[in-house]
Structure 1
Amino acid sequence: MRLLATTNGGLESVTSAELAELVGADPDTHHRGVVAFDGSREAVYDLHCRSRSCHRLMEVLVDERVDGLAGVYEATRTVDLAAHLPDEEFGVVGTRHGSHEFTSVDVADRVGQAVIDGYRAATGDRLPVDLDDPTVRLEAYLYDDRFTLAVDLTGDSLHKRPYRVCEHDAPLRGTLAYSMLRLAEYAADDRLVDPMAGSATIPIEAALAATDRPPRPDLDPAFGVLPRYDAERFGERRAGHEPRDTDPDLEARERREKWRRCARVNVEAAGVEGAVDVVAADAREASLDADCVVTNLPFGIRVSEDLRDLYVAFADRVREGSVDRLVALTTKPDLLPLEFVERHDIPYGRIDASVVVWTP
């Protein structure tokens, strides 16, 4: 079956590489922030247990060229809706890009009406609608004349890590942190340092990846309500997953005591106290000796210090130290006086940011 995975926009290649590694998929970019691939239900179960860069996984119901809203309606009516949807409240999220005389809301409305009409024609029942908190969520994409309809399999997003007990002022998604680790080519036997660790999201993600522990052990996907999926089977596969026995070398540096306390709370919540050292250090002064340095650089939005001075001093420590690979998230890459071998421009909330990669 055809599947979609949503992820951090601009890092689709990272998620594609993870999907290939975990389930042998050969993904292509559907559109920004979404990759498409072929996979089995067993692959879906495994990815909900082990994927670290995906936000949601969806099964494609329709993917074809259409002519306007009428085409959207007719394409949706071709789906055997009774085979894919339970008699539960549903909602549709519409996304439209291109030149059209209608809106994303109109796309969602036409899909919703087609679902109601098609399900009633097949079963005699009218599906209830809940746009705020539906049991079943449908995603409808219309990019120019390409219409894709998919049913969400995940429910609560995979990026919502349960260890995030103490939240930083500028929180970093776990999925983005893991994607940065992949760009750093981090391996379980590497020494990794985050010189500006905040609440320690990057080192925690490294610890979970090194030990191959599920990033969302608390996840309750939609398998219990969706026809053709088996919540018990998913539970068995997750329970049968064996973490790796390894001893990663991870250091979370932070100069502010407030965030060191926060980091320790999150490290304990993640159950990786033995893997992550939280230490007091100033990134402008502390020397660096690490296989990988991965960090979220201050953006200047909530920081009063001179960013240029911070970035220059940090770059000096990187060049002077023993660092095999640096990966940094920043909104101001031009302030970092290093020559990058890669740069990935991404949306970060409502601002534009970049993930940059440097090697000596």
Structure 2
Amino acid sequence: MHLLATTNGGLESVTADELDELLGLDAAVHHRGVVEFDGNHEDVYDLHYRSRTCHRVMEVLVDAPVEELEDVYDRTREADLAAHLPSSDFGVVGTRHGSHEFTSVDVAERVGQGVIDGYREATGERLPVDLDDPTVRLEAYLYDDRFTLAIDLTGDSLHRRPYRVCEHDAPLRGTLAYSMLRIAGYGAEDRLVDPMAGSATVPIEAALAATDRPPRPDLEPALDALPRYDGAAFRERRAAHESRSPDLAIEARDRREKWRRCARVNLEAAGFEDAVEVVDADARTAAVEADCVVTNLPFGIRVSEDLRALYADFADRLREGDVDRFVALTTKPELLPMEPVERYDIPYGRIDAAIVAYEP
């Protein structure tokens, strides 16, 4: 079957590499923030407890060219809806890109009507609609003349990590933090330092990856409601998964006691309070020795200090220290006086940001 996975925009290649590493899946970019690949039910179950970069996993119901809005309705109505949808309420999220004489709302409306009419033709039953909290969530994408309709298998997004008890003023998604760790080439045997750790998202994601623990152990995906999936089989596979117990060398540094306390709260929630060291250190002055340095640099939005001086002083500490690889999320990569070896441009909320990798 054909599947989609949503992820952080601009990092589709990182997710594709993860899917290949985990399950040997050959993923390609469907559009920004979404990859597509072929897989089976076991792949779906495994991705819901093993993937660290995906937000949602979806099964494709329709993937066809269209010329006008009514084609969206026709392709939806012709799909084998009765085999994929339960007798439950549903909702449609529409996304449209390109030059069209209609909106994303129009796409969602025509898909919804196509679902109602096609399901009623097949079963004699009219499915109810719930746009606020549907049992079944459908995603409709129209990119130029390509129409793709998929059923959400995940429910609550995989990026919502349960250890996020204490939130930073500028929170970093766990999926984004893990993607940065992949870009840094982090492995369980490496010494990792986050010199501006805040609420410790990067150190916790590193510890989860190094121990191979599921990032969403609390997840109850939408599989139980869907006729072609077995929620019990997913839970059995997750319960049988075995984690590792390597010796970790991870430091969460911050110069502010407020965020060190926050980091400790989240580390305890994740079960790593004794595995990750929380250190009082100023990135402008503290020496750095690590295989990987991965951090979310201050953007300047809530920081009053001179960013140029902060970035320059921190870069000096990196060059003076013993660091193999440095990866940062920043809106001001030009302020780092180093030449990056990799760069990924990403949206960060409504801000344009970049993940940049260096070899100091």
- Give the TM-score taking structure 2 as reference length: 0.99
Deviation track 1:189-245 (CA, whole Å, cap 9, x = no partner) reads 000000000000000000000000000000000111001100100010000000012
Q: Which amino acid aligns with 1:248?
A: L
Indicate whether 1:156 and 2:156 are aligned.
yes
Aligned letter for 1:63? D
| Structure 1 counterpart SS, 2:355 | strand
1:247 equivalent in alignment to 2:247? yes
Report the alpha carbon displacement of residue 140 of structure 1 after superposing the two structures with TM: 0.3
Aligned to 1:63: 63
Alpha-carbon distance, 1:272 to partner: 1.0
Structure 2 counterpart of 1:168: 168
* Equivalences, count: 360
CA separation in 1, counterparts of 2:40 and 2:134? 25
SS in 1 for 2:284: coil
Question: Could you tell me which amino acid in structure 2 is paired with residue 16 of structure 1?
Answer: A
- Aligned match of 2:5: 5
Equivalent residue for 2:107? 107
Alignment of structure 1 residues 1-360 onto 2, 5 Å = 1-360=1-360
How many angstroms apart in 2 are the aligned matches of 1:63 and 1:300? 43
| Residues 157-187 of structure 1: CA deviation (Å, up to 9, x unaligned) | 0000000000000000000000000000000
Find the aligned partners of 1:186 and 1:85 in 2 and give their Cα distance. Answer: 41
Note the alpha carbon deviations across 1:279-330, whole angstroms, 9 max, x for none.
Answer: 1000000000000000000000011111111000000011111000000000
AA in 1 matched with 2:46: D
Worse-matched range after superposition: 181-190 or 61-70: 61-70
Unpaired runs of 5+ residues, structure 1, are none
- Cα-to-partner distance string for 1:57-81 (whole Å, 9 max, x where unaligned): 0000111101111110111112111
1:21-80 CA-to-partner distances (Å, cap 9, x unmatched) read: 111100000000000000110000000010000000000011110111111011111211
Give the aligned residue type for 2:142. L
Matching residue's letter, 1:342: E
- One-letter amino acid of the structure 2 residue matched with residue 323 of structure 1: V
Greater displacement, 70-79 / 9-18: 70-79
Q: Following TM superposition, by how much is the alpha carbon of 1:274 offset from its aligned partner in structure 2, in angstroms?
A: 2.3
Q: Deviation digits for residues 3-22 of structure 1, max 9, x if unmatched? A: 00000000000000000011
Secondary structure of residue in 1 paired with 2:281: coil
User: 2: distance between equivalents of 1:25 and 1:309?
Assistant: 44
Deviations 1:103-150 (A, max 9, x none): 000000000000000111111111111111111100000001000000
The separation in 2 between residues aligned to 1:321 and 1:39, in whole angstroms, is: 45
Letter of the structure 1 residue corresponding to residue 66 of structure 2: V
1:282 counterpart letter in structure 2: D
Partner SS state of residue 347, structure 2: strand
- 2:111 aligns to what SS in structure 1? helix
TM-score scaled to structure 1, two decimals?
Answer: 0.99
User: What is the one-letter code of the residue matched to 1:301?
Assistant: I
- Taking the aligned partners of 2:189 and 2:169, their CA distance within structure 1 comes to 31
Q: Which runs of 5+ in 2 are unaligned?
A: none
* SS of aligned partner of 2:292: strand
Cα deviations across residues 234-285 of structure 1 (Å, max 9, x unaligned)? Answer: 0100000000121111000000000000000000000012221011000000
SS at match of 1:298: coil
- Name the CA distance, whole Å, in 1 between partners of 2:39 and 2:29: 15
Letter in 1 for 2:246: T
Which amino acid in the other structure matches residue 9 of structure 2? G
Matching residue's letter, 2:201: T
Runs (4+) off by over 2 Å = none
Q: CA RMSD in A?
A: 0.5
